[in-house]
Amino acid sequence: MTDVLDRTKIYIDGAWVDSDGTGRIEVIDPASEEVIAVVAEGTASDVDRATAAARAAFPAWSALSGAERSAYLGKVAALATDRAGELTEIVSRDMGMPLKLAAAVQIGMPLSNIAAYAKLAGEYDFDDREIGNALVVREPVGVVGAITPWNYPLHQVVLKVFAALAAGCTVVLKPTEVAPLVTYALVDICDEAGLPPGVFNLVSGYGPVVGEAIAAHPDVDMVSFTGSTRAGKRVAAVAADTVKKVALELGGKSANVILDDADLATAVTEGVSKCFLNSGQTCTALTRMLVPADRLGEAAELAAKVAQAYTVGHPSEPGSKLGPLVNATQLARVRSYIDKGVEEGADLVLDGRETGLTTGYFVGPTVFGNVTEDMTIAREEIFGPVLSIIGYRDEDDAVRIANKSEYGLSGGVWSADPARAERVARRMRTGQVYVNGGAFNTEAPFGGYKQSGLGREAGVFGLEEFLEIKSILR
């Protein structure tokens, strides 16, 4: 039996305090199915208190110079970096990613972004443009409400909270209630670093209560949400009553276009990796692999061979590449999509429904071949290690299929001719495209077209999401 961690306080005005509510939410280890912690089921009145603290702290925080805010954020970055190992263990247990991967992805990326925003706060020119007699200045939007997901629990918090803080905003955060523990650890670090009271506040709880209270609150000037498209639409609708600024990072069903002159083995191998990262629980996962129709069988065989090397196992086991899905709901969802693919006639080349593991929410690597563009598994976001391989006639047909989606978050293109690959990338209606396996860039703007969202995160573009523009006419 595991000791259960008590994290039932919420963080308001620089202190861990009791929630107004008495409800509790259990946090489950997805590998063992054991309760490992409890957090508060926050209330709308908790949001009122947190927002009042953020509003009171805003004048002083926004009046600091960028260099002064940079010094605060730099202290957080240093402390968090010192505790990277501890944070890795927490997030791995919290949401199930194998330790080695979690160190690089779940912790390495957000630590890089905390440091980047600390640096950017000190370097960004908020008064950088004159137009005739007008001085154009950028000012912090105000109190930001941030609502974050479970699949990259620390990274998504950092992209919102630290960009907003660097811009001079104050923040009320509702982290995921599914995998919240690494965020609590970050708040402890911010507290130790001496972040002024009220600048960063945390209220735990469920989206329909705490999330909606944040989105609706008249003293929240902007809400930034990452999650499902369905939930994002609800956030936008609630926020509309107060006409506040809204940033949304939502779902994806991204296409990986392997052109006819590409090295198929290399492209398929990298494509499987881009699909299965974080056990497929990634909004940018390249889940649709588009290949020349006459090479469908070859591509499916290659993908299945590569996928079989993605060992399913406990996050603490060194050989594990695929950890568990985050909870029982996600397990049932992914299995149902695999069932649907079989029912609709796709070729199940590799079946991951049964893993041999009796405890934990595990699904193994799954590959479908001969998928048609109208099948459910080709249209809907599955959020699991499930790859759909689709054939196309020619380059124009490949672009058409890639763009035939309500989403537009990410994508990939492979070609022996880099210029050709870039031309195709420019035709794809999506916010990010990997060309020939290009590396992820933590400071490049990140966000989507269509129903994948509004706005951009990361780097200078992410900072500017939290700024208003003012013209001073002289």
DSSP letter for each residue of 163-196: HHHHHT-EEEEE--SSS-HHHHHHHHHHHHTTPP
Catalytic pick from 169, 190, 275, 283? 283
CA-CA distance, 85 to 383, in Å (whole number)?
Answer: 27
83: amino acid identity, one letter: R
**Closest to 353 measured CA to CA, from 325, 319, 320, 373:** 325
Extract the residue ranges of the chain whose pLDDT is less than 50: none
Angle (CA) 234 237 240, round 5°: 150
- What are 89's two structure tokens? 């263990």
- What are 282's two structure tokens? 């990634």
Catalytic pick from 41, 177, 249, 465? 249
Please report, in angstroms and rounded to a whole number, the separation of the first and last CA atoms in the chain.
69
The C-alpha R_g of the chain, in whole angstroms, comes to: 22
CA-CA distance, 444 to 188, in Å (whole number)?
Answer: 28
Strand-strand pairing, 411-414 and 134-140 = unpaired
For residues 235 and 224, the answer to whether their CB atoms sit within 8 Å is no
CA-CA distance, 432 to 440, in Å (whole number)?
Answer: 10
**Closest to 221 measured CA to CA, from 472, 450, 465:** 465
- Output the pLDDT for position 128: 77
464: amino acid identity, one letter: E
**Per DSSP, which regions of 21-81 are E strands?**
24-28, 35-40
Q: Which residues pair with 448 in a beta bridge?
A: none
E strand or H helix that includes residue 442: none
CA-CA distance, 28 to 443, in Å (whole number)?
Answer: 32
Q: Tell me how far the alpha carbon of residue 40 is from its chain's centroid.
A: 23
**Closest to 146 measured CA to CA, from 75, 227, 228, 73:** 227
CA-CA distance, 287 to 375, in Å (whole number)?
Answer: 13
CA-CA distance, 280 to 363, in Å (whole number)?
Answer: 10
Could you confirm whether 283 is annotated as catalytic? yes
For residues 258 and 265, the answer to whether their CB atoms sit within 8 Å is no
For residues 283 and 260, the answer to whether their CB atoms sit within 8 Å is no
Q: Which residues pair with 145 in a beta bridge?
A: 172, 223
CA-CA distance, 357 to 428, in Å (whole number)?
Answer: 40
For residue range 321-365, what is the model confidence (pLDDT) as tens digits?
999 999 999 999 999 999 999 999 999 999 999 999 999 999 999
- Output the pLDDT for position 305: 97
- What are 52's two structure tokens? 């009042």
Could you confirm whether 465 is annotated as catalytic? no
Q: In terms of residues, how long is the chain?
A: 474
- Output the pLDDT for position 440: 92
